[in-house]
């Protein structure tokens, strides 16, 4: 190089250098990248940052070769994304074994039938794999590619494509956040928690259908709040604040409303206890919810069952008296509002004595109603029909609750005949022979655990999301036309897509239907 500088004018040296780069690098760029055992794919898979830096320095001076490098890395990320997607194939299976049934599954049932817990674990693994892969490539960009912005954009585009090629991505990310806020924060410091939340929001940033994520996140947040499953209120508020920064206050309006309801509910419950109206023997926790903020949390059921649920009330006794006293207290302090009790979402801790041993059971409110029927009369036997008449619980809901109490792992009630199916004339009685090594027992609550949706549930969710999108598109059209007065059809479609792309990508067909 020193000799070249001594004998050649600078312009000649530059020309010669370009010729060398063209002949030795540019024309063989693809061959160099695809060298067996030491090519680009192997370097990426082994996270060989030093060798990747050398390769980048070799390709960076010329745009065509850098583009080849970007294209190959982009393609490799897509290939890895397809491998991750293959692991999710069982989620589309309709042969799902409920968690509640797994403990009592017949031995002759096929082993390949996966439980909801196994499917949920697959979903969480997919999100974790995506985040781990992104972390690896983020390090490569910083260490090996000198923070090259075009390289970073190419890798970002690849991750956007991988994530959004999975139609379940919004649901799975919400499930991942749900699991993190319920289980993933244990033994973590403040900085570790913030890093975990930041990684989740990073993936949220890549989602195109953020409205679908909002649908699932509201559902999962509601269950965490109502069932007291969250490990940290600060983390909950922090995550919603991060989502607010990403998408604006309108996106998190209902989420913040849910937090507000929980605080107001706590104040109401404390006021009720201090008033002296509450029964001192019962520790009552109430959630008074604003319907517009909260999603529908009841398990799938017929319209007839939904109507029947409105007439459910506690059996006569201390429970009914408590409900009536709180209703009276609420009406006195919140005049003009009406309480609609949602017993399907409650749970209770009760103590039951079996022989000489006492157990503490966590049960659903419906299960508490059922068990209270057997509290005062020894050796009482009731049929399914008699239980339904006394509790007014819809029969399809009652069937699942009775199965949990009499047919699952913990048989609190005995059933005649001893089968899993529940008929109208089947008889139930208090199981005096019940024994368990555990003092505290949680009876499975139907639909209380956040899990991957079945295909039927997914179809229902997409229908609800589609209906909401129609309203959002119509509102956007009205806003635009109020401002512009007149627009060509194509311009209106483009403007609607532009305004809503941060939330979801409306199709031209949907926009056309909304225009009418």
- Please give the full DSSP string across 162-188, using - where no structure is assigned: HHHTSTTHHHHHHHHHHHIIIIITTT-
What CATH number is associated with residue 488? 1.10.10.10
Mark whether 416 and 485 lie in a shared domain: no
Other beta carbons within 10 Å of 456: 10
d(CA 131, CA 138): 10
pLDDT in tens, 45-88: 999 999 999 888 887 777 777 888 899 999 999 999 999 988 88
**Cβ(30)–Cβ(67) below 8 Å:** no
SS (H, E, C) 21-83: HHHHCHHHHHHHHCCCCCCHHHHHHCCCHHHHHHHHHHHCCCHHHHHHHHHHHHHHHHHHHHH
Residue 240: predicted pLDDT: 95
CA torsion sign for 126, 132, 136, 139 is positive
Mark whether 341 and 278 lie in a shared domain: no
C-alpha dist (Å) from residue 261 to 254, 255, 353: 10, 10, 36
Mark whether 254 and 311 lie in a shared domain: no
CA torsion sign for 156, 78, 456, 297 is negative
Is 509 contained in some domain? yes
pLDDT in tens, 347-402: 889 999 888 899 999 998 899 999 999 887 778 899 999 999 998 888 888 998 99
d(CA 98, CA 198): 33
Kindly list the averaged pLDDT for each block of 10 residues, start to end, along the chain of length 516: 72 70 66 78 92 86 81 95 86 53 42 63 92 95 94 96 94 93 81 88 94 94 88 92 92 95 91 76 83 79 66 78 88 83 85 90 91 84 93 88 90 90 92 91 66 80 89 92 89 91 88 86
Last residue of a domain, one of 442, 468, 494: 442
Residue 241: predicted pLDDT: 95
Mark whether 172 and 239 lie in a shared domain: yes
d(CA 322, CA 328): 10
Mark whether 277 and 223 lie in a shared domain: yes
Count up the domains in the chain and report the number.
3
Is 109 contained in some domain? no
d(CA 231, CA 239): 13
Residue 1: predicted pLDDT: 62
Is 436 contained in some domain? yes
Mark whether 308 and 437 lie in a shared domain: yes
Residue 100: predicted pLDDT: 43
**Cβ(308)–Cβ(237) below 8 Å:** no
Partner residues linked to 441 by β-bridges: 361
Last residue of a domain, one of 252, 275, 297: 297
d(CA 302, CA 312): 16
Residue 138: predicted pLDDT: 95
**Cβ(501)–Cβ(210) below 8 Å:** no
Last residue of a domain, one of 237, 270, 297: 297
End-to-end CA distance of the chain: give it in Å, rounded. 72
**Cβ(81)–Cβ(165) below 8 Å:** yes
Mark whether 188 and 281 lie in a shared domain: yes
Residue 291: HSE in the Cβ half-sphere, 13 Å Cα cutoff: 6
Mark whether 438 and 465 lie in a shared domain: no
Residue 289: predicted pLDDT: 92
Mark whether 431 and 308 lie in a shared domain: yes
Is 26 contained in some domain? no
C-alpha dist (Å) from residue 64 to 22, 27, 55, 60, 395: 10, 10, 14, 9, 69
Residue 64: predicted pLDDT: 77
Mark whether 240 and 274 lie in a shared domain: yes
d(CA 386, CA 401): 15
Is 468 contained in some domain? yes
pTM for this predicted structure? 0.80
User: Which three-class secondary structure state does DSSP give residue 90?
Assistant: helix
Is 209 contained in some domain? yes
Q: Which of 343, 342, 340, 318 minimizes the C-alpha distance to 331?
A: 340
What CATH number is associated with residue 177? 1.20.1310.10
Residue 92: predicted pLDDT: 67
Mark whether 309 and 436 lie in a shared domain: yes
d(CA 188, CA 70): 37
What contacts 388, CB < 8 A, 6 or more positions away? 395, 398
Query: Could you tell me the two tokens for 315?
Result: 């059996």
d(CA 501, CA 162): 18
Query: Could you tell me the two tokens for 465?
Result: 């999301």
Residue 108: predicted pLDDT: 41
Mark whether 173 and 289 lie in a shared domain: yes
Is 404 contained in some domain? yes
pLDDT in tens, 410-432: 999 999 998 888 999 999 999 98
Other beta carbons within 10 Å of 259: 17
Is 108 contained in some domain? no
d(CA 349, CA 394): 23
Q: 181: exposed, middle or buried (C-beta count within 10 Å: 0-12, 13-18, 19+)?
A: buried
**Cβ(311)–Cβ(392) below 8 Å:** yes
Q: Which of 422, 514, 507, 413 minimizes the C-alpha distance to 470?
A: 514
Boundaries of domain holding 336? 303-442
């Amino acid at each position: 190089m020193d000799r070249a500088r001594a004998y050649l004018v600078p312009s000649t040296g530059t020309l010669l250098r370009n010729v060398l780069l063209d002949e030795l690098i540019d024309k063989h760029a693809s061959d160099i990248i695809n060298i067996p055992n030491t090519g680009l794919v192997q370097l990426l898979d082994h996270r060989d940052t030093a060798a990747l830096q050398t390769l980048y320095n070799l390709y960076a001076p010329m745009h065509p070769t850098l583009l080849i490098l970007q294209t190959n890395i982009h393609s490799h990320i897509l290939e890895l994304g397809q491998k991750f997607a293959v692991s999710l194939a069982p989620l589309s299976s309709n042969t799902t074994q409920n968690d509640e049934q797994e403990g009592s599954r017949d031995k002759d049932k096929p082993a390949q039938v996966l439980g909801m817990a196994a499917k949920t674990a697959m979903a969480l693994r997919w999100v974790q794999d995506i985040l781990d892969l992104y972390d690896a490539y983020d390090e490569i960009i910083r260490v090996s590619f000198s923070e090259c912005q075009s390289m970073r954009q190419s890798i970002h585009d690849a991750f956007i494509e991988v994530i959004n090629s999975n139609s379940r991505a919004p649901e799975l990310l919400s499930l991942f956040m749900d699991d993190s806020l319920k289980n993933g924060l244990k033994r973590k410091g403040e900085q570790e928690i913030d890093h975990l939340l930041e990684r989740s929001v990073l993936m949220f940033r890549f989602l195109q259908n953020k409205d679908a994520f909002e649908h699932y996140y509201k559902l999962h947040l509601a269950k965490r709040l109502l069932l007291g499953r969250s490990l940290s209120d600060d983390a909950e508020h922090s995550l919603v604040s991060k989502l607010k920064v990403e998408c604006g206050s309108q996106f998190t309006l209902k989420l913040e409303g849910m937090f507000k309801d929980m605080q107001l509910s706590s104040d109401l419950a404390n006021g009720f206890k201090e008033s002296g109206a509450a029964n001192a023997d019962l520790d009552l926790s109430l959630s008074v919810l604003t319907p517009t903020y909260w999603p529908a949390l009841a398990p799938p059921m017929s319209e007839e069952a939904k109507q029947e649920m409105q007439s459910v009330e506690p059996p006569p006794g201390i429970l009914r008296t408590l409900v009536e006293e709180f209703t009276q207290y609420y009406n006195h302090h919140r005049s003009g509002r009406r309480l609609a009790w949602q017993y399907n979402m409650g749970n209770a801790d009760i103590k039951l004595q079996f022989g000489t041993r006492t157990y503490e059971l966590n049960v659903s409110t419906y299960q508490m109603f059922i068990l209270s029927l057997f509290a005062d009369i020894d050796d009482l036997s009731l049929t399914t029909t008699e239980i339904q008449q006394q509790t007014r619980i819809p029969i399809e809901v009652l069937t699942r609750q009775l199965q949990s109490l009499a047919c699952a792992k913990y048989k609190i009630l005995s059933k005649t005949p001893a089968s899993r199916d529940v008929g109208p004339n089947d008889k139930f009685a208090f199981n005096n022979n019940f024994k368990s090594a555990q003092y505290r027992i949680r009876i499975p609550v139907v639909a209380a655990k956040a899990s991957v949706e079945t295909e039927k549930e997914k179809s229902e969710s997409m229908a609800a999301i589609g209906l909401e999108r129609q309203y959002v598109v119509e509102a956007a059209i009205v806003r635009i036309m109020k401002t512009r007065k007149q627009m060509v059809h194509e311009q209106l479609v483009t403007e609607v897509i532009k305004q809503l792309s941060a939330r979801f990508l409306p199709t031209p067909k949907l926009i056309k239907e909304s225009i009418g």
